[in-house]
Structure 1
Amino acid sequence: MKPPRRPNSRQSAPDGPGVPARRAALKLLDAVLRRGLALEQALDSAAQGLAPNDRGLAHAIAAEVLRRLPDLDALIDSATKQTLPDDAKARFALRIALVQALALGTPGHAAISTVLPLVDGGPRKLVHGVFGTLVRQGVTLPEPPTLPDAVALRWHAAWGDQMIADAEQAIALPPPLDLTLRDPAVVPDLPGKSLIAGHLRLDEKGPVAMLEGFAEGDWWVQDVAASLPARLLGKGSGTALDLCAAPGGKTLQLAAAGWQVTAVDVSESRLARLHENLERTGLEAEVVEADLLKWKPDAPADAVLLDAPCSATGIFRRHPDVLHRVRPSLIREMAELQGKLLARAADWVKPGGTLVFSTCSLEPEEGEAQLAAFLKARSDYAIVPVKPEELPHGVMPRADGRLRLLPGTLADAGGLDGFFIARLVRNT
């Protein structure tokens, strides 16, 4: 009779201090890089049961790895005799350890000791050895970070050398925190600068809910670029449809500007945030949970804002996961959906009314190409050129009146997210 097997103490022992956050970071990176999930989408599952501080640390580690992935992998490959598979746990553990030591200011002994429990056996020795070798060599990460090859090739073909340089600079720095004010005359006493009326870009970040004016509903967080589509509809007393509305920044803008707003989105969870913000700000809008490919309004509106679903590559500095999970197939899929939604939305505008189409994408297929195809199919629509005075100082529309925001836009002031925006009128 064989004696009973002794339990594996290494596997059954509880994680030591700091390890749960690194384990969650590993799960987050696996979700993004292997399963193609968005970082925010994977966070609740990966960080389940963690204290808020550990949850925040796990997110920060994973996001910094995604910002610097090509450079981290280059360092790892320089110190291994055989190239580790992209999805090897040892590679993931080394990415986490190195980014802490080289970018996040974690002492080397803490960076390595908190990732070793993530691997077992031979890989543990490998991780310890490679990390030690690189630290002794005094390696550093390049500044600015390097874009993934596939992204750099795609964006270079569309926008050229300068855009690539600007994108690398943009991802190197934490993005600013922008506030859109409910009433431009009510400015919170917070250190910052205004890029356009009704906006404040903060000099320092802190817990959003603790900032002056949050509880009173005086403002909401919204990148200044994301605020421009609704701004182009101006003040209004008529009806407005905000399509693909959640989480609701544009709905709040339209309501604050006097429009009678119907906000439509398919996501129940994201609409919950819209309801919360409406209650906090005291603004009013009709909120509809519906699939826009099946839903239609009872009557045409004076204004329609379609901030269409897209690859979201324009917000890469806030969500670096898009650099690694967005593939050409997803861009094509999103472009096809945008075309369908734009065709439907165009029928919901009154003659003489305004349609604003926007995407937070840096892909021409999700912007310029969509507009060209739409205008070719719809002779009843024409561009209403965006004017420089409607934009932050230093931001200029294209010659034909469209607005294309690239990573270098207002870089000296903290930059803007990438967007494509067009304003059109339906001819009577």
Structure 2
Amino acid sequence: MFKQKKNHREHDDSVSDSQSHSHSQGHEQQGSSLQGSELAISSSTGDRDSDRGSLGSSTRAPSVASTTPNKYGFIGGAQYTIDGEENVSVHVIRKRESKWLEMLNHWDSFMMKRYDKVRDRCRKGIPSAIRARAWQHLCGADRVLENSPGVFDQLANAPLDSRMEEEIRKDLHRQFPLHEMFLRRGGQGQEDLFLVLKVHSLVCGDGYCQAHAPVAAVLLMQMPAEHAFWCLRAICDKYVPGYYSQGLEAIQVDGIILYKLAKKVSPSVYKIIKKQKIDPVLYMTEWFMCLYSRTLPWASVLRVWDMFFCEGVKVLFRVGLVLLKFGLRQEIRNDCPSMYETLQALRNIAPGIMAEEFLLTQLMRLDISEEDLQKEHTRQTTKREQERIQKERIKKEKQQQEQARER
């Protein structure tokens, strides 16, 4: 379970003002839910303080160990690979970097008039030397930072409730413990992570959620703490609003949307999930809340995030549909007579399915449009609203009946 810890401090006025920043990117919230929350999702993982009991940690056993970090900074674990990225020549990389620098120097013009070009280049993969700057431009964090000088430092030095600090510090060592940035307790990486999560908890109306930690850690692997904070704010406010709220209702809604879309992408997968009555939150909560950072190999994580920052939450749905379609292909379904085996299969998807080249190719081949996502989103949010109205009507009628009996 991802646990939310409510922080009762008042929001900093200057930060609240900065949240009103709008970015010329009307493509980023298709299929997302803005709903509140009522129902808490319970965990079956047991001890919250153990590494394996927290969905904010890397629960897979190290598959490889090395004394030398790979090119992503990992020395082991599920994200450690030695062949991650496609083989691209230095000449091609430099050419891509040059094109990105041109775009970044004329950003507003490209976003307004040539968005398709920005999208296509994000789909090809942002050059690693450009990635931090590109992510900040894509989500608008660069402008918020520019308009909020000193805000991060001010909040970093502000007092934090002792219980909140304890909750955050408990999760620090669980974030990519086999990455060179986060190897040492109390090291610079973990301290930067604490600062980002602390400042975010001070300004976030929903307080601290364990799922904030892996997202913040990924950002810190790419950029300094202050920049990572503003990117985290953009993700939570603009891309996946409501995902980290009490009760996780937005996740529940998007889980149902993913389940319904699976009917079009892979009817046989939809059929087994329906037959076994598997609640979508049991398999997709970690996928969506951690933006696949704890699911995919690292080369794939970076490519998915490149697309996510440009195209928004619809990318999360497309990745989920590929994982469902191929993670529960026929030969796997044959060995899944019950919910238990099916969930185990989805928690242990073959590495080849999640590999960069295969995953990205299948994402582009999916027969799912933005219109499909929007229609299903509208259908599910409308249904939720009707159910809410019905519950309120029934509650009101009961109150009226009780009042009548009292008379």
| TM-score (normalizing by structure 1) | 0.21
Higher strand content, 1 or 2 = 1
What is the TM-score when the length of structure 2 is the normalising length?
Answer: 0.21
The higher-RCO structure (CA 8 Å, 6+ apart) is 2
